[in-house]
Structure 1
């Protein structure tokens, strides 16, 4: 499976608007199995723990700058991982979305 950094790069979602893609991805993420959700949460924890420990020792402007950098990095790294996990559930989510749309 290919890793995508944005939902508009996923071929199955090309025909949908941004709002529709977000709704479909929400449906796909809801279809994740318990082990997939567990793995995703462990990955999130592994991404957040080291920067948190580093930031806990900072003060002043260095703290604010570090928090901003960590938040940006978190979203840049986590989005492709979440899209990767949701990809295998996209067909079902698209069908469910189209069914609920009518």
Structure 2
């Protein structure tokens, strides 16, 4: 691919996309976002995973606001699944402990 004004065979300028107003490419997926989703899904087995998933999801979103990493959807899903599983697990755990 040649860039307008560039000679054939010339190495493209790595800052060309930014100079044209395009955002830089994402730098990978945030690890906290991945772990947020994983621990929230593990929260189906025990309630502790849900709480950890919610906390990791919030931390991941804070990191994603400062970086160019991907994973915002994973973090959001981790928070949502964590809240939903916590809402189902918590009442059953309380009922179990009362007996």
TM-score by length of 2: 0.34
Greater C-alpha Rg: 2
* Higher helix fraction (1 or 2): 1
